[in-house]
Amino acid sequence: MASIRLENLSKIYPGAAAKVVANVNLEVGDKEFIVLVGPSGCGKSTTLRMIAGLEPVTEGKIWIGDRLVNDVPARDRDIAMVFQNYALYPHMTVFENMAFGLKLRNYPKVEIEKRVHEAAEILNVHKYLNRRPGQLSGGECQRVALGRAIVRKPKVFLFDEPLSNLDARMRVTMRTEIHKLRTRLQTTFIYVTHDQTEAMTMGNRIVIMKNGAIQQCAGPMTIYDKPANKFVAGFIGTPPINLIKGAILHKDRKYYFDEGKFRVKLMDEMSGFLAPYAGKDVILGVRSEDIYDKLFVSEASADNTVRVTCEVVEPLGSDVYLYLNSGKNTFMARVGAHNRPEVNRDVEVVFDMRKVHFFDPETETTII
Ligand X SMILES: Nc1ncnc2c1ncn2[C@@H]1O[C@H](COP(=O)(O)OP(=O)(O)O)[C@@H](O)[C@H]1O
Query: Which residues are near Mg ion by CB under 5 A?
Result: 45
Contact flag: residue 40 with ligand X (CB under 6 A): yes
Stretch binding ligand X (CB under 6 A), from 27-35, 41-49, 117-125, 275-283: 41-49
Contacts with ligand X by CB under 6 A: the residue count is 11
Which residue of 1, 8, 25, 41 would you call a contact of ligand X, by CB under 6 A?
41
CB 209 within 8 A of CB 222: no
Contact flag: residue 20 with ligand X (CB under 6 A): yes
Task: Choose between 41 and 219: whose C-beta lies nearer to ligand X.
Answer: 41
CB of 32 vs ligand X, minimal distance in Å: 21
Per DSSP, the residues of 48-85 read HHHHHTSS--SEEEEEETTEE-TTS-GGGS-EEEE-SS
Task: Choose between 209 and 228: whose C-beta lies nearer to Mg ion.
Answer: 209
Q: Which does 41 bind (CB under 5 to 8 A by kind): Mg ion, ligand X, none?
A: ligand X
Task: Choose between 45 and 187: whose C-beta lies nearer to Mg ion.
Answer: 45
- Other beta carbons within 10 Å of 96: 16
Buried/exposed 20-31: b ≥16 CB within 10 Å, e otherwise: bbbebebebeee
Q: Which residue type, as a one-letter code, is found at position 46?
A: T
Residue (of 202, 201, 84) closest to 138 by Cα position = 84
Contact flag: residue 19 with ligand X (CB under 6 A): no
Which residue of 42, 122, 129, 218 would you call a contact of ligand X, by CB under 6 A?
42
Contact flag: residue 85 with ligand X (CB under 6 A): no
Contact flag: residue 43 with ligand X (CB under 6 A): yes
Residue (of 61, 53, 117, 103) closest to 80 by Cα position = 53
CB of 81 vs ligand X, minimal distance in Å: 13
Helix (H) or strand (E) holding 37: strand 33-37
Task: Choose between 45 and 97: whose C-beta lies nearer to Mg ion.
Answer: 45
CB 18 within 8 A of CB 11: no
Contact flag: residue 97 with ligand X (CB under 6 A): no
Signed CA dihedral, 275, 280, 285, 290: sign only: positive
CB 63 within 8 A of CB 25: no
Stretch binding ligand X (CB under 6 A), from 42-50, 122-130, 150-158, 268-276: 42-50
CB of 184 vs ligand X, minimal distance in Å: 28
Which residue of 10, 37, 45, 207 would you call a contact of ligand X, by CB under 6 A?
45
Q: Phi then psi for 69, rounded to 5 degrees?
A: -110, 10
CB of 45 vs Mg ion, minimal distance in Å: 3
CB 23 within 8 A of CB 9: yes
CB of 25 vs ligand X, minimal distance in Å: 17
Which residue of 4, 9, 44, 218 would you call a contact of ligand X, by CB under 6 A?
44
As beta bridge partners, residue 75 has none
Task: Choose between 84 and 339: whose C-beta lies nearer to ligand X.
Answer: 84
CB 336 within 8 A of CB 320: yes
CB of 192 vs Mg ion, minimal distance in Å: 6
Signed CA dihedral, 235, 171, 98, 123: sign only: positive
Task: Choose between 199 and 244: whose C-beta lies nearer to ligand X.
Answer: 199
Task: Choose between 47 and 93: whose C-beta lies nearer to ligand X.
Answer: 47
Helix (H) or strand (E) holding 148: helix 138-150
CB of 268 vs ligand X, minimal distance in Å: 42
Q: Which does 183 bind (CB under 5 to 8 A by kind): ligand X, Mg ion, none?
A: none
Contacts of 52 (CB under 8 A, 6+ apart): 74, 77, 79, 81, 158
CB of 4 vs ligand X, minimal distance in Å: 17
Instruction: Write out the residues near ligand X by the rule CB under 6 A.
Output: 13, 16, 20, 38, 40-46
